[in-house]
């Protein structure tokens, strides 16, 4: 994939979206105060232009973020919410033409409902994709269990699929069933929109993650590397690499051979992985033996055999590399589903390194990708809480105003 990743040295900002939002809000207040059918229709058109502009700004930030640092939560957020903003913009285009000739007293409720129902309607529009995606997760998980045996971790894909389908069914069911007093109905609608906001957030994050993972997994780093970090994983009882680990090693080996043929520069392999409780040797040692069998000389291999997870892989490998060459150009090799989160861990220890992914068996990577997604959600909880909280507050407040104004 020919993308100029990691070439921008200034982090993209999106504060201008906040400035634009404040300006549009002021314009909407003015149009609402003027009243009348014509001015309210202008409001509809203004909202459409606003959300299309936000979409463009978010997509621009997404591409700039990839050039600055692909392995970032911002990449996920920008793309995921750009799709949602595009959807709302399209809704208001339809509203603008559909509301022509409608009396002014009926226009404002329709304008508000476009925002209020946006989360629910977005889930309905995107449901065909979510349904197919959920079925694919279930099928891949059943195949994984058949090939690899039953383990609780092998049920993650099925669990996510049930959450996606169950969450949609719950919101859809609540949206079409409410009785009682006006206060009771308002509280019911607040609950529905509260759940819809949560569903929207995780849907946007999931879609953004799918895109970011796909780009990261398919990217081919430039052939100018001094060091190639190979991230370890479980080995066999006899100390030999599993097929999964061989895939990572072969991916790095193929890259190194291609680089040497193209530039004459032979990179050093940093083999990163400690010794697990049921392993006869460290993962690093297992990888060393495998590469030695492939003809890689000992002087082109550095062993990092203390790490127990990806974060330590990156931190300890960085230390070894800096001792050898402080200004080294680095890449890392891992499984395709693991590239994005590994890149996040590398940036967390302030190491600039681009990843390459090896293929996984079709029934293995969806469940592994779900595991990676869950791992991503456990990080940057402050930023995620802020966005999710803002969405919840916005939908609950809009529900309250709907009942107060009309």
Each domain of the chain, given as residue ranges in start order, spans 1-116, 117-219+363-406, 227-328
Name the phi and psi angles at 265, rounded to 5: -100, 120
The pLDDT value recorded for residue 176 is 74
69-84 residue pLDDT tens? 989 889 999 999 999 9
Question: For residues 363 and 136, what is the distance between their CA atoms, to the nearest angstrom?
Answer: 10
332-349 residue pLDDT tens? 999 998 999 999 999 999
Higher-confidence residue of 144 and 168: namely 168
The pLDDT value recorded for residue 356 is 95
Pick the closest to residue 269 from 294, 243, 298 (CA basis): 298
- Region label for 274, one of left (φ > 0), alpha (ψ between -120 and 50) or beta (otherwise): beta
Whether residue 132 is predicted with pLDDT greater than 60 in this model: the reply is yes
What percent of the chain shows pLDDT beyond 70? 98
Kindly state the average pLDDT of the residues 89-114. 83
- 162, with CB counted inside 10 A (0-12, 13-18, 19+), is middle
Name the strands in the sheet holding 330-335, side by side, starting at the edge strand that comes first in the sequence: 301-304, 268-272, 227-231, 330-335, 353-358
The verdict on domain 227-328 having CATH code 3.40.50.620 is yes
Quote the pTM value: 0.89
Whether residue 240 is predicted with pLDDT greater than 90 in this model: the reply is yes
List the beta bridge partners of residue 231.
Answer: 272
The pLDDT value recorded for residue 3 is 66
Q: Tell me the CA distances in angstroms from 185 to 120, 191, 269, one per residue in order.
A: 17, 10, 64
At residue 406, the 3 state secondary structure works out as coil
Pick the closest to residue 304 from 273, 269, 276 (CA basis): 273
279-314 residue pLDDT tens? 899 999 999 999 999 999 999 999 999 999 999 999
Residue 300 contacts residue 268 (beta carbons within 8 Å): yes
The CA-based dihedral angle spanning residues 339, 340, 345, 351, taken in that order and rounded to the nearest 10 degrees: 80
- 290, with CB counted inside 10 A (0-12, 13-18, 19+), is buried
């Amino acid at each position: 994939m020919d993308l100029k990743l990691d070439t921008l040295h200034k982090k993209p900002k999106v504060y201008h979206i906040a400035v634009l939002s404040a300006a549009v809000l002021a314009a909407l207040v003015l149009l609402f105060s003027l009243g009348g059918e014509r001015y309210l229709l202008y409001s509809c058109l203004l909202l459409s232009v606003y959300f299309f502009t936000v979409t463009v700004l978010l997509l621009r930030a997404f591409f700039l973020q990839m050039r600055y640092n692909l392995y970032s939560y911002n990449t996920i957020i920008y793309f995921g919410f750009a799709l949602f903003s595009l959807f709302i913009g399209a809704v208001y285009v339809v509203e603008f033409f559909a509301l022509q000739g409608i009396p002014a007293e009926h226009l404002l409720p329709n304008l508000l409902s476009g925002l209020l129902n946006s989360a629910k309607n977005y889930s309905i529009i995107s449901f065909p994709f979510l349904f197919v995606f959920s079925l694919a997760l279930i099928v891949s998980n059943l195949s994984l269990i058949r090939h690899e045996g039953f383990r609780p971790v092998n049920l993650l894909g099925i669990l996510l699929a049930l959450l996606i389908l169950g969450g949609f069914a719950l919101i859809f069911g609540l949206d079409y069933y409410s009785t009682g007093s006006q206060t009771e109905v308002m509280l019911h609608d607040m609950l529905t929109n509260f759940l819809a906001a949560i569903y929207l957030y995780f849907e946007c994050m999931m879609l953004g993650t799918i895109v970011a993972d796909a780009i990261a997994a398919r990217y081919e780093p430039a052939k100018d590397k001094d060091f190639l970090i190979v991230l370890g994983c479980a080995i066999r009882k006899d100390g030999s690499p599993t097929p999964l680990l061989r895939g990572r090693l072969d991916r790095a080996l193929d890259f190194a051979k291609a680089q040497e043929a193209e530039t004459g520069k032979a990179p050093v392999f940093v083999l990163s992985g400690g010794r697990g409780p049921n392993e006869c040797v460290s993962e690093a040692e297992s990888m060393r033996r495998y590469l030695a069998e492939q003809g890689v000389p000992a002087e082109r291999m550095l062993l990092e055999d203390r790490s127990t997870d990806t974060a330590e892989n990156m931190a300890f490998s960085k230390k070894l590399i800096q001792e050898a060459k402080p200004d080294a150009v680095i890449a890392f090799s891992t499984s395709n589903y693991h590239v994005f989160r590994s890149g996040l861990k590398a940036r967390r220890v302030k190491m600039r390194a681009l990843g390459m992914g090896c293929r996984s068996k079709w029934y293995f990577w969806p469940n592994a990708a779900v595991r990676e997604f869950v791992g991503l959600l456990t990080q940057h909880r402050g930023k995620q809480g802020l966005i999710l909280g803002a969405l919840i507050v916005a939908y609950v407040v809009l529900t309250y105003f709907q009942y107060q104004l009309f």
